[in-house]
Structure 1
Amino acid sequence: MANGVTRADIEAAIEEDYNYMLLERATAASTALSAFTKVDMGAKVQNLPALATRPNAKWVGEAEGDRTKPTSKFTFENKGLFAVEGVGG
């Protein structure tokens, strides 16, 4: 980092409560962050359903018997969300 300031110096200056407040404000101000589901991580691993297959799009046919929209099948699988401490934590 610039001017000899290390990551540890910055982390020591930011208190735990301030980190939480900063994250809450960033989430409230961000459309992208507020659109996603917040997952409480009581344990270090949380299993979440995730889309396993990609849907594919097809054109509706112009012929008399081919005017229904083709649909694709999709499946879900469990994916693990792991909470780990950051580098230097």
Structure 2
Amino acid sequence: MEGHWIGAIGVNTVVITAAMLLVLMTVTFVLFPDPIPQVMIAVELAIAGIGPLLFFPASRTLWSAIDLLMRPLNFGEVDPRFVLVDPDRDRRPKSP
């Protein structure tokens, strides 16, 4: 669908940026009197380099869920092979 790549990249960027900010604040708090810049830079670079690659499949799934919440499926948009119960097809006849 249109926009899924951009949406997944956006979710990925927001989550990884939030993770980097959280780690930066935690490391600063733990090493407060004398923070070591080399350690902080190394940890942040590791998150920035590896995080998006590891989180991308989850960000695609998360974006698909967000998209379905924003734009629910309409009638006829689901392949009939994947519909377990179809109200029109599986309607029981009314008893007399």
TM-score (norm 1): 0.28
RCO greater where, 1 or 2, for CA within 8 Å and sep 6 or more? 2
When normalised by structure 2's length, the TM-score is 0.26
Greater strand fraction, Structure 1 or Structure 2:
1
More helix by share: 2
